[in-house]
Amino acid sequence: MTAGRSIAQWAGTAGCAALLALPLLALLGCGTPGAPLPPSLRLPTPVSALAATRAGNLVTLQWTNPTRTTDKQLITSFQHEMEADLCRAEQLPTTAVASADCTPLLTRMVKPGSQTTVTDTLPQPLASGTPRPLLYWLLLRNRKGKTAGPSNVALVVAGSAPNAVSGLTATASADGVVLRWQPDGSNVPVRLHRHVLRSASVPSSKPAPISTSGAANARAGNSMAGLPPEPVDEDLMVDLPARSGSAGAVDREARFDEEYSYTAQRVVALPGISAVSNSSKDVAHPSRKIPRKPARKPTGNASANPSGTTASVPELASFVSAPVTVTTTDTFAPAVPHGLAAIYTQATHTVDLSWMPDTEPDLAGYFVDRSQDGGPWKQISPADPVTVPAYSDTAAEPGHSDRYAVSSVDTHGNRSARSAPVAASTTP
């Protein structure tokens, strides 16, 4: 029993001293609690991606609420909600204290992890006058009213907005979707927004563009494969609308067999507007530039081309117009063939025809017609279209004066008018 007590005593007392001899464990201690952690202040992490856009006299603000506190503690919705105070000013406060003590434009209870959208209707003084910065920021407070500081600053432009676009129409054509609207006498650029309502469901291919740059009648057709998926939403800009008459543009990137919705708004870009305070360069929270998707830029009726750059320039925009819809059904015939030539070979009584090939991507082929001795036109080619720009009439009869013409047809069954006829006399 004595030996047993000695072993127990060693394990309970001397054992600890022996373990402390190890350098690593000596640092950790033995049986001694660590330093107490400070209690969490439960301050919500400041919002870092507050975004604001203005249309007319309405400013729409969006942000996502944090899910953790500044000390990495999870904010659970069943514990409490947060209070969001939205601040607005024409000039940034010069200190963090001033920004935290703003008089809230509005206060809203929000839940962690949720996305919040609010709309601010500008009062008349802010919705009129010369363009100038208008700044928004956000303060999230816990249930004790404490905050970890302001969010990023979202910049819009105060001042008189352009006139809203009226009379917007959209019509499908062989060259694209033709958009028209009423000019207002100004030279303010117009931004058109296209939204795909219904897309053609072709498992192995995508419709081609209605028209491509430099080709007058390049048509879609579901036979075209390998095109990238079409964006559901896309912007294009019209830089110089007409001052009188009818203003408009052609969306040459639209595809056949789709249903689109278009809206329009006048937009003035103001690169000279910034969120930097005039009274101090040492602002508490500098402006955060939110990249916007670049708009494609046609001029008047020209084709829209990707700009390839992101835009963060502040802008002053009108209200968005009412949407118009258009379905781009392919009812447009391909181009009329040209360059038709005919050569008669008397030995074989054959008329060889050739013409310049059409370049439409959805071209199915050609039909050949003949008029004998001034009589009516009759198709002499097979029921299926001829797929090459040449044909031989082996049924030509000697002693007649024949005329020939060619028409083209696309994969949708749209047939062009006849080409200019050529004569081929079979009289010896």
159: which DSSP letter?
S
Structure tokens at 412: 């949708």
Higher pLDDT, 390 or 240: 390
Per-residue pLDDT band at 388 (split at 50, 70, 90): very high
Q: Where are the domains of the chain?
A: 51-158, 162-279+287-330, 341-425
* CB contact at 8 A, 107 and 85: yes
Percentage helix, strand, coil for the chain under 3-state DSSP, each rounded to 5: 5, 35, 55
Structure tokens at 179: 């958009």
- Given this model, what pLDDT does residue 217 score? 35
- Given this model, what pLDDT does residue 101 score? 67
Q: Taking 90 as the threshold, does the pLDDT of residue 304 lie above it?
A: no
Q: What is the pLDDT of residues 351-362, one digit of tens each?
A: 999 999 998 888
- Given this model, what pLDDT does residue 99 score? 61
Per-residue pLDDT band at 397 (split at 50, 70, 90): confident
Q: What is the pLDDT of residues 161-210, one digit of tens each?
A: 999 999 999 999 888 899 999 988 888 999 999 999 987 644 333 344 44
Q: Tell me, which fold does domain 162-279+287-330 have in CATH?
A: Immunoglobulin-like (2.60.40)
Higher pLDDT, 5 or 101: 101
All residues at 6 or more sequence positions from 102 whose CB lies less than 8 Å from its CB, including other chains: 85, 87, 89, 93, 137, 139
- Given this model, what pLDDT does residue 64 score? 96
CA distances to 78, 234, 254, 262, 360 from 327, rounded to whole Å, are 49, 17, 10, 11, 21
Q: What is the pLDDT of residues 202-228, one digit of tens each?
A: 433 334 444 333 333 333 344 344 567
Kindly report the number of other CB atoms within 10 A of residue 335's CB atom: 19
How far apart CA 83 and CA 85 sit, in angstroms, is: 6
Per-residue pLDDT band at 44 (split at 50, 70, 90): very high
Helix or strand or coil: residue 340? coil
Kindly report the number of other CB atoms within 10 A of residue 341's CB atom: 13
Per-residue pLDDT band at 35 (split at 50, 70, 90): low
- Given this model, what pLDDT does residue 308 score? 29
- Given this model, what pLDDT does residue 245 score? 59
pTM (predicted TM-score): 0.67
Q: Taking 50 as the threshold, does the pLDDT of residue 389 lie above it?
A: yes
CA distances to 129, 189, 346 from 184, rounded to whole Å, are 19, 11, 68
8: which DSSP letter?
H
How far apart CA 117 and CA 203 sit, in angstroms, is: 37
Alpha carbon 111 to its chain centroid, in Å, reads 30
**DSSP string over 70-116:** TTS-B--TTT--EEEEEEEESS--SSHHHHHT---SEEEEE-TT-EE
Q: Tell me, which fold does domain 51-158 have in CATH?
A: Immunoglobulin-like (2.60.40)
- Given this model, what pLDDT does residue 79 score? 54
Q: Which of 1-10, 148-157, 256-265 has the lowest mean pLDDT?
A: 1-10
The stretch 84-96 carries a mean pLDDT of 82
So what's the architecture of 341-425 in CATH? Sandwich (2.60)
- Given this model, what pLDDT does residue 58 score? 97
How far apart CA 392 and CA 390 sit, in angstroms, is: 7
- Given this model, what pLDDT does residue 118 score? 96
- Given this model, what pLDDT does residue 360 score? 84
Per-residue pLDDT band at 274 (split at 50, 70, 90): confident
Higher pLDDT, 207 or 248: 248
How far apart CA 357 and CA 338 sit, in angstroms, is: 8
How far apart CA 8 and CA 15 sit, in angstroms, is: 9
How far apart CA 26 and CA 106 sit, in angstroms, is: 56
How far apart CA 292 and CA 405 sit, in angstroms, is: 53
- Given this model, what pLDDT does residue 95 score? 62
- Given this model, what pLDDT does residue 246 score? 65
Q: Which of 38-52, 233-247, 333-347, 404-418 has the lowest mean pLDDT?
A: 233-247
- Given this model, what pLDDT does residue 239 score? 66
Per-residue pLDDT band at 63 (split at 50, 70, 90): very high
Higher pLDDT, 146 or 290: 146
How far apart CA 211 and CA 196 sit, in angstroms, is: 18
Strands (E), 111-229: 115-121, 132-141, 147-150, 154-158, 166-173, 176-182, 190-198
* CB contact at 8 A, 140 and 114: no
Supply the Cα-derived Rg of the chain in whole angstroms. 37
Q: Taking 80 as the threshold, does the pLDDT of residue 86 lie above it?
A: yes
Higher pLDDT, 364 or 79: 364
Mean pLDDT over the full length of the chain:
77
The stretch 128-133 carries a mean pLDDT of 95
- Given this model, what pLDDT does residue 133 score? 94
Per-residue pLDDT band at 243 (split at 50, 70, 90): low
